[in-house]
Structure formats: C-alpha cells, structure tokens
Amino acid sequence: MSDWALDVQQNGTALWCRLSGHLDHDTVAPVQARFSKLIRQGREMVVSLADIQSMDSAGGALLGWIASQMQTRGGIVRFVDVPESVRAVAMGLPDADLAPMPAEPGLLFRIGDGAGRSWQALGRFAHFLGDVFVGSIAGLFSGAGRRRGSVTDSIVAMGADAVWVVGLIGLILGLILAFQAAYQLRAFGASIYVANLVGLSAVREMAPVLTAVVVAGRSGSAIAAEIGTMKVGEELDALEVMGIRPIRFLVVPRLLAVTVTQPMLTALSAVMAILGGLAIAVLYLDLGVMSYLNQTLRALSAGDVIHGLGKSILFGWLIVLTGSYSGLTVKASAEAVGKAATRTVVASIFGLILTDGIITTLDTLLK
C-alpha cells in the first residue's frame, strides 16, 4: 500500500495542510476521512501539494471533492505549490498559484492569536450564558421548549443516584476531621470542641466542595458526553430544524434540577460528616451523644447553614454550565467527546476551588 502523510497547522483563521506522499487509489479513502474532519472545523483551508510524489485519477477526484465540499459549506479552499504532474491529473484546481506555506509563526503572533481566540471564546460563552438565563427564567413559568418530565429525570440522575456516594464520602470526611481534631484537642482537655471543628468545617466548606467534586465527576462529565454525542450525531441540528432550542431543551432542565439536588446532597453530606464526628467522639473521646450534638448546635448558626447551601447552589450551576458548554462546542468527532468530558471535570474542579477561595476570602474580609 502506498504511503501518505498530512501535516496540519492553524494559521490565523485558516487551516494550512501539507499533503505528501502518494495520492492514489490505495490512499484516497484514509485521506478523504481525514479531510472530512478538517472540512467541518474551518471555513478556510490552504492545501500544499508540493510534496506529492505521485497521483492518479482517484487522487484528482479527491481534490475536486475537497473543493466541492468546502464550497457547499460556504468555505474557501486554495491549493498551493502544485507540481506540473498534479496539474495534469487534477484539472481546474482553485487558486493554485499562491505563495508557499509560511514557516512556523513567531511568539508574538501566537500570543496575539491566542488572545484573540480567548476573547472570541469569552464572547461565545457570554452569549451562551445569556441564552441560559433567558431560558431559565422562561422555564420557571412555562414548560414550552423542553421535554415533559425532563427536570424530574435530571433530579433522579443528578441527585437520587448520587445519594449513597455523597453520604459515604461525608461520613468518611467526618471521621477524618474528628480524628485529626481529637489528636490535637485531647491533649489540652478540649475534646468537646471537636464538635465545633467538625460541624463548622463540614457545613461551611468541606461538604459543599466535596459534594460538588463528586457531582462534577459523575454528572458534569455525563452532561458533556451526552450533549457532545448529540452534537456529533447532528441531533442538535435536528432539534433546531423542528423549532426546538437546544439550550432550553437540554441545559435548562439540568440547571433547574441541580438547583434542587445540590443543596440537598450538600445537607446530606454535612449531616453524615457530623454523624461521623459523633461516632469518634463517643467511641474514642468518651463524650456523650447529647453533649456532642448540643455543642454542634451551639457552634452553628443560621448564617453558616445559608453560607454552605448557597455555595452549593452556585457550585451546581457552575458544573452544569461547564458541562453543557463543553458538550455544545464539541467538534464533529468521537475523540472530541471524550476530551470534552475530561475538560469538563478538570475545568469544573478548578472553577469550584477558585470560586470557593474567592467567596471565603470576601466573607472573611467583610466580617
């Protein structure tokens, strides 16, 4: 079988492709498959044919197919550095006399190009947030544009199915916090204050953050994978053809569901952490059950509970929005779906920690 290679570079808004080797009956199928993905990615493509060693009529037909596909999608393709042997086989190549492919762009160009792309991505994300906000407000008063029972199904998937995981992690968290606190406080005869440390840490910080991390791993990645698969399968296009807005149909129900499930899961995690601390206090520190619980209630205030539950809702929104946006921006390939799911988990966890740090800092400074 003949050999071929394709080197692809992003240069501004254009894809620069250097095709080399043999373009014949044996290689047109894999080359066509590769170009099918590239055609979906951009509206401007430059293809260098300088390194083509041989080409038959099948290769010429492939070049014509590339040109027609780009034209159908409203894009532009230019073939450059075309050898005479290739011209003889492939007639009528568009724009075949352009300058050669430029060298690797410099540092300043890459910085500027990255900044421009980041600004464009920020604008697209802001537009996405606007659509979600409008859809969420409308979804509170009307079920139009979303599947019946979709909110309930999302509550089950994101909430009920995660109860045992969140509860178990909360229990283990309480055990760890109580053991660490008991090791220090017992030496000073202040074992009762284990209840303060476990209760405040769980309610204000640990339960909201760890619950959000679990939900990001379970539900955030699932949302990105599901929506990304629908994007690859052109199901989102089908929804738009039927007059259904994908954001209202897919994102809003999950956003409404996580508003309900996230504080409930966080409360469950905090309660299990307190029970884990209670077990250590009774079995290891010889404290009474009622003494521990009363000390916990004295340590906590309504503001602490509101603080923890409020952060949990914010974290839930962050997870759903990150997963949904990653899924909606997936490129048309199965590999991109997996990358979107991974990117969702990483971005969500980073966003959770950053947001929690900002809230905690502001809350401390404003007190």
Chain segment 298-319, per-residue pLDDT in tens: 988 899 999 999 999 999 999 9
Tokens of residue 183, six digits: 């090791």
CATH class of 4-89: alpha beta
What are 91's two structure tokens?
């007639």
Q: How many Å apart are CA 241 and CA 263, to the nearest integer?
A: 37
pLDDT along the chain (367 residues), means of 10: 74 79 83 82 78 82 82 78 74 50 62 78 82 76 67 86 91 91 81 89 92 92 89 82 82 89 94 92 86 90 92 94 88 78 91 92 83
Cα of 103 vs its chain's centroid, Å: 33
pTM beyond 0.85 = no
Show me where the domains of the chain are located. Answer: 4-89, 130-366
Q: How far apart are CA 192 and CA 189, in angstroms?
A: 8
- Whether the CB-CB separation of 330 and 340 falls below 8 Å is answered with yes
Alpha-carbon span 340 to 168, nearest angstrom: 28
Q: What are the Cα distances from residue 88, in Å, to 29, 55, 97, 257?
A: 22, 10, 15, 62
Nearest to 208 by CA among 301, 125, 113, 319: 319
With tokens 């401007």, the residue in question is 44
